[in-house]
Amino acid sequence: MSRFAAPIAEQIWDMKYRLKTAEGEALDRTVEDTWRRVARAVAAVEADPDAWEDRFYTALEDFKFLPAGRIVAGAGTDRSVTLFNCFVMGTVPDSLAGIFDHLREAALTMQQGGGIGYDFSTIRPKGASVTGVAADASGPISFMDVWDAMCRTIMSAGARRGAMMACLRCDHPDIEAFIEAKSDPARLRNFNVSVLVTDPFMEAVKADATWDLCFDGRVYRTIQARDLWNRIMQATYDYAEPGVIFIDRINQMNNLAYCEEIAATNPCGEQPLPPYGACLLGSINLSRLVTDPFDPEASLDEDALDDLVGVAVRMMDNVVDVSRFPLEAQAREAEAKRRIGLGVTGLADALAMVGVRYGSDEAARLTSRWMRLIARAAYLASARLAGEKGAFPLFDQAAFLSSETMEAMDDDVREAVARHGIRNALLTSVAPTGTISLFAGNVSSGIEPVFAHAYTRKVLQKDGSRTEEEVVDYAAQVWRDKHGDVDLPDHFVSAQTLSPLEHVKMQAAAQTWVDSSISKTINCPEDIGFEDFKDVYVEAYESGCKGCTTYRPNAVTGSVLSVDPSTLSQPADNTGEVVYMSEPLDRPSELEGRTYKLKWPGTEHALYITINDLVLAGYRRPFEIFVNSKNMENFAWTVALTRMISAVFRRGGDVSFVVEELKAVFDPRGGAWMEGRYIPSILAAIGGVIERHLVETGFIPAAGLFSRSEPDTEAAVVGQTAKACPNCGSFELRMVEGCMTCLACGHSKCSG
């Protein structure tokens, strides 16, 4: 009998976590082999590895404890990858040489699979003088563009592109430009961006006071704090970024406030980290700990939870010792503090299984209780580990016990830490769990509500055909198994049916007992008023959250809910959105087209780019391209480009990926500035021309909104704001914990 609760779970395992040779031969024959591999690797540092291997295996068995995907995929292999999920890089110096040294470190970290965060507030603002070179500084945002360009060339752990977080303080002189940076849909696509909001700024907003924008002790400008707050709010209302990080609260509540200062987080925000800070993640699957689900006596097995947390803490502590690190500075930081991030997944499912509506007062009460039990068990387990193996090297008993976290702990926990010390400086976090939640049977992700109780995905078979497969939420499937295919109870709710303040309530309830932070998206209806939208952030601040990320569907961000998959089987008509393109198209005798002139700086002759379109069902789509120049040095490559792109266009389907691929090409000799924007190569400039044409003809809705990252020979979606998954092509993208995540295959640039 399969251990997998749903076909998609087995597919995720095979695609992401199953150990295979380079030729694709499976070395993990079953998921039990995967669990055994991970348990054996993590137990190797124990004095009695055999005994602990069995205990670790039991914790992993049946998806009760879910180490982050990097651990499941990498532990016990010979791959040169890190098992850590989260990194914040070193403090960026305000010098050109130092900046590019840190760019190199970022590339090395992402090459091994790490998502990274940066505080760019240390770079002088645009227009500031640069001593000794008679020039003005270009500012931090220009260097974010450089990081973004680098990230596009790095495949994170060979499976997905790297993810980054860019932070800027609310008092930096370039903060207004930072707020607006992602209003350009083609800019900073590999970054999540967040404003570091301080307590004095929030007080100034409340008082409608002035606010100084300063750098290195110099005040550059003074503005109204409320005006700046409104600009932040308007930007995130319009295009879902920037997020807000309450940085003073993070530092005030940090167990290690006595020896570090935090100025950035990892890409999804759940791990505020110091320079070169690193953290690994893992989640307790609460849905697997519910006894008698949907019965009147249904409850969470708190004794089982206590035992499981203790084993999970020991496993994660061992990972600190068995993991590789991209940089020596990261290894030293991890060893000095032994940070781990133990969290939960399946919270919404567990609440449904005990008969409680997510978002209700009772759900908040239960969430707080369960998170408190996890924190208690984790801190006690870490104290016991310290008695056995030693406390983390930077442990200071008096300072640690005076932290806000420890002052809120029960007396027995404080006594244990006072007696033994503690092995791990911080222990709890709620991470994005999109992929591992699918792996565990499509349980609800992290502390998020359920996004869809059931949906249909198309599965590509080996013979090239596609079949439809229903994907059911874990708790909904348990209900079906118990009661048959009848309507779900009223207490089953989804992310879209909850009010924004109910989302905030749940985040705040969990945050009380989480010593790091929480990755959570607060879904807002498209028609929410701007004042009500701002109230969400104020409530998050007032209720003790460490940050706030919202998502409101609109023309820029796309729709939260995907296109109904059934539309993919409907024939196209003049009102439909799908045009089928399965065979190469014949060229009509006449085509509609446009010619564009492209003058690359430093060259004598311009390029002339002609794009001709086919009109089908009232829609224009690119059919062929010609690139011409008087410069004969360009002849060979322009002819090759013409033939290759035209061949792609004629196959039909969604061909907008061509733009993304061209724009990702970087010339090692350097790019050029065109119309106030840095273009990394002449090929990227050609990609920009094609993109402009696709927007003007309606093939894609806006610059930077690509439907796919690879060609689809089946269908082209025209005029649709909901975007397809770049990994599997299905229209099942949701904003989950700050990252667009595919419910069909689990693809996300941010999650483990």
DSSP character at residue 582: -
What is the separation, in whole angstroms, between the first and last Cα of the chain? 27
| Cβ atoms of 534 and 681 closer than 8 Å | no
- CA quadruple 222, 227, 228, 229: dihedral positive or negative? positive
CA 92 to centroid of chain Cα atoms: 23
What's the pLDDT score for residue 58?
A: 97
CA distance 716 to 580: 7
- Give per-residue pLDDT as tens, 550-560: 988 866 555 44
Q: Which residue has the tokens 């059911």?
A: 472
CA distance 299 to 293: 7
What's the pLDDT score for residue 672?
A: 82
Choose the weakest-confidence range: 209-218, 249-258, 295-304, 646-655: 646-655
Residue 156 has pLDDT above 70, yes or no: no
The mean predicted confidence, pLDDT, of the chain is 86
CA distance 63 to 284: 9
Choose the weakest-confidence range: 82-96, 172-186, 694-708: 694-708
**H or E element that contains 683:** helix 682-696
Residue 498's nearest CA partner among 528, 531, 522 is 522
Structure tokens at 258: 């006595």
What's the pLDDT score for residue 555?
A: 61
Query: If you average pLDDT over residues 658-666, what whole number do you get?
Result: 83
What's the pLDDT score for residue 697?
A: 84
Question: For residue 242, is the peptide bond before it cis, meaning its omega torsion is within 30 degrees of 0?
Answer: yes
- Give per-residue pLDDT as tens, 435-444: 899 999 999 9
CA 352 to centroid of chain Cα atoms: 26
| Cβ atoms of 44 and 322 closer than 8 Å | yes
Residue 243's nearest CA partner among 195, 202, 191 is 195
What's the pLDDT score for residue 583?
A: 46
- Give per-residue pLDDT as tens, 41-52: 999 999 999 999
- Give per-residue pLDDT as tens, 205-261: 999 999 999 999 999 999 999 999 999 999 999 988 999 999 999 999 999 999 999
Strand partners, 627: 609
| Cβ atoms of 450 and 473 closer than 8 Å | yes
CA distance 49 to 39: 9
Residue 716's nearest CA partner among 654, 650, 623, 655 is 654
Catalytic site positions: 266, 268, 270
Choose the weakest-confidence range: 19-28, 294-303, 361-370: 19-28
Left if phi > 0, otherwise alpha if psi is -120 to 50, otherwise beta: which for 269?
A: left
Instruction: Locate the domains of the chain by residue range.
Output: 86-252, 565-721
- In 297-360, which residue ranges form alpha helices assigned H by DSSP? 302-322, 328-337, 347-353
- The DSSP-derived string for 506-557 is HHHHHHTT-SS-B---EE--TT--HHHHHHHHHHHHHTT-SEE-EE--BTTT
Residue 533 has pLDDT above 70, yes or no: yes
Residue 190 has pLDDT above 50, yes or no: yes
Q: Which residue has the tokens 């399969």?
A: 2
Query: How large a percentage of the chain has pLDDT more than 70?
Result: 84
Residue 42's nearest CA partner among 58, 31, 26, 30 is 58
CA distance 525 to 740: 17
CA distance 116 to 77: 23
Choose the weakest-confidence range: 112-126, 143-157, 562-576, 622-636: 562-576
What's the pLDDT score for residue 617?
A: 56
What's the pLDDT score for residue 715?
A: 29
Residue 629 has pLDDT above 90, yes or no: no
Residue 752 has pLDDT above 60, yes or no: no
| Cβ atoms of 620 and 698 closer than 8 Å | yes
24 falls in which pLDDT band (50, 70, 90)?
confident
Higher pLDDT, 2 or 130: 130
Collapse the DSSP code of 165 into the 3-class scheme (helix H, G, I; strand E, B; otherwise coil) and give the result: strand
Residue 684 has pLDDT above 50, yes or no: yes
- The DSSP-derived string for 369-386 is HHHHHHHHHHHHHHHHHH
